[in-house]
A and B are shown apart, each in its own frame.
Chain A
Amino acid sequence: MTDSFVFGEALVLGLSSGPACLASCGPVLVPSLLAEQSGMRLGARYLSTFLGARFLGYLLFAAVAWELGVLVALPPAPRLLLIGIIHVLLAGVLLWYAYSLGHPHVHSCPVSELVTIGVERKRGISGPAALGFLTGLSLCPPFVIAGVRAAQLHSVAAAILFFALFFVGTTVWFLPLVSLGCVRRNEAVTTVARMAMVLIAVYYFFLGSAMLMGRNVYGH
């Protein structure tokens, strides 16, 4: 099986998984995108930061897991624990981000229009970057499928390249979200977005806590 065939497979897998990735990231991405200031340029910057950080999360996990050889063999219990921790962190970041958006005079960077988390810009973490990184680590099913396939490759470089192409395939589906930058921002839109972020954060916190306690949230 030639390399080009394998990497073509990565791209196609990404394209076919894209809707699922979009649906999975949607609860985090859409409200936070809407809560930012309007403008296509700003929306594109937000999205590229989010996706870039998500990509880093993918690659980091892929490289570590490939090296440790655990990606395929990760048993359900530790996987549940890992996902639980990530969900709780994601909830915390969403809540803090929603709070920061309401207090821009404290947190906004004078140079960048993106609202940062943290008091000073140098020590601050970009909100979309934090959210993107955590969603990248969240082991959603398309990611796991790509991971299983990548783990079969001959080197960590090949695995990383596989993930990169998979990521490009999924990213195509995210591009239309840039158009959310065109939505006029007023008090209604930003308040709705922040409230939605809080609600989703509460849900992720509950889900993550239940996973940490080893509880099966779904199923009757």
Chain B
Amino acid sequence: MATEARILPPREIAPRSIVRSALLTLPIMLWSLLIFSNSYQQPNPSVLLAGIITPVFMTALFFMMMRTSSTYRWRRWFFVSLGLLFPVGFIHQVMVMRGSMGIPMEEMIAGRTPFCFLPMPLLILPAALTKTVVFPGSILPGGGMSGGGMAAMAGLWLAITIVVGKGWCSYACFFGGIEEGMASVPRRAKLWKIDPRWRYGPWAILLAMVLLSLALFEPAYCMWLCPFKAVSEYVAAHNTVGMVQNGIFVVLFAGLVIVLPLLTKKRTQCAFFCPFGAFQSIFNKTSVFDVKIDRARCSSCTLCQTACPTMSLTKESIAQGMTLMSCMKCGACVDVCPKHAAVWHIKGTEVAVKPERARLMLLYAAWGMAIMFGGTIVAEGLATILHVFV
């Protein structure tokens, strides 16, 4: 461990030239054009326009990441846009298809409930034991709101997770952007002291929901605890219990996604509640990219600890030069570190030797996934808004 006397000076990071930044951005620009190529054949002007604006937006953000060597604030622009535009496109679609955000029973029976990634960990044990998926959707496309079906969502999830691990929570999750946006609104946190044991919340909820889902053969989290039902869809309430369930969703959304992020400047739903996030943390063990702390440069200022939106840095972990398993690779700690001691890292390589190379490789992979998955959702939401005017 480095002592005070041996702390190295901050790493020199000069901004890249515009030309060099543009060259590094070129693959991403080509990738965007490829992903959105279908939009350019659309007769619908709002879809066409969204298909132009979105790749320009994503490419511009990547360019700024290259130019400024900063990741977090540019990624956040995309992620907040995703969080805000997903409900726009989704709610519009459900209103057009069935006139209500409430899922009627006929839709569940017909297997047309859209499948979200959040209940996936809960469905594993019942499926493994009985080959039954306890979700009222369709395995393959079933029409209506079922989209590509559960197999498609599972396939997409697996592919993206192989690439980014828990980076899903920073580059793919279409719910997290709302609270990330809320957390970035105030200049300072009003609630400073948060008991670090709340970080175990997602694991506790995951354990409880997995056990209850197996006991009752239903997706217990979707039935009782998902805050994002407030901005997507929910089971239409026919009785008191249904109303209680929907009340819980609204209260959790208001508390965990709006109020607490405003007070704490943390992604409180993600850090203290989301069981899918806990499940996804396991894949940080398989991901080749991570964040390390260069102990030779770290002055223990703990700015990184304060900046981390999910409390994935503690004094102990910083002393060990690493983040916790819950790190979602958002880049906040790397960008805030005044000594540039927090660095992107490829497992197996030496810490802080060419960290920019690690960053570039991570960003090509993660941003590629962001464009493919989140970008198309952003475009859909944008097209919905543009349709009003165009």
Contact = CB atoms under 8 A, between A and B. Distances in A.
Interface of A: 19, 23-24, 26-27, 30-31, 34, 187-188, 191-196, 198-200, 203, 206, 210, 215-220
Contacts of B236: 220
Contact of A188 (B200, B238, B242): B200
B197 A191 contact: yes
Given A192-B203, A218-B241, 15 more contacts: A26-B211, A26-B214, A31-B207, A188-B203, A192-B200, A193-B207, A195-B205, A196-B204, A198-B204, A203-B208, A210-B241, A216-B239, A216-B241, A219-B239, A220-B239
A110 to B, nearest CB: 27
A33 B215 CA distance: 17
A220 B212 CA distance: 19
B239 A199 contact: no
Contacts, number: 67
A220 B207 contact: no
A151 to B, nearest CB: 26
30 contacts: A19-B129, A26-B211, A26-B214, A26-B215, A27-B215, A30-B207, A30-B211, A31-B211, A187-B197, A188-B200, A188-B203, A191-B200, A192-B200, A192-B204, A192-B207, A193-B204, A193-B207, A195-B203, A195-B208, A198-B204, A199-B205, A200-B211, A200-B212, A203-B208, A215-B239, A216-B239, A216-B241, A220-B238, A220-B239, A220-B242
Interface in B231-271: 235-236, 238-242, 244
A196 B207 contact: yes
Most buried by A among B208, B214, B244: B208
Contacts of B211: 26-27, 30-31, 196, 200
A184 B379 CA distance: 47
Interface in B131-165: none
Nearest to A219: B239
A24 B207 contact: no
B105 interface: yes
Interface of B: 105, 129, 197, 200-201, 203-205, 207-208, 211-212, 214-215, 224, 235-236, 238-242, 244
B121 to A, nearest CB: 14
Given A200-B208, A200-B211, A195 B200 contact: yes
Nearest to A19: B129
Contacts of B201: 195
Contacts of A192: 200, 203-204, 207
A196 B240 CA distance: 26
Contacts of A23: 214-215
A173 to B, nearest CB: 12
Closest 8 CB pairs of A and B: A195-B204, A27-B211, A196-B208, A199-B208, A192-B203, A196-B207, A196-B204, A191-B200
Chain A contact residues: over half helix, strand or loop, or mixed? helix
A19 B263 CA distance: 45
Contacts of B207: 30-31, 34, 192-193, 196
Contacts of A194: 204
Contacts of B224: 203
Contacts of A27: 208, 211-212, 215
Contacts of A196: 204-205, 207-208, 211
Most buried by A among B105, B129, B238, B241: B241
Contacts of A193: 204, 207
A217 B212 CA distance: 15
Contacts of B242: 220
Given A27-B212, A220-B105, A220-B235, A215 B240 contact: yes
A217 B240 CA distance: 9
A64 to B, nearest CB: 26
B119 to A, nearest CB: 16
A198 B203 CA distance: 13
Contacts of A219: 239
A115 B45 CA distance: 68
B203 A217 contact: no
A31 B200 CA distance: 14
A108 B238 CA distance: 47
Most buried by A among B214, B215, B224, B236: B215
A48 to B, nearest CB: 21
Contacts of A187: 197
A16 to B, nearest CB: 14
Contacts of B129: 19
A210 B244 CA distance: 11
Contacts of B208: 27, 31, 195-196, 199-200, 203
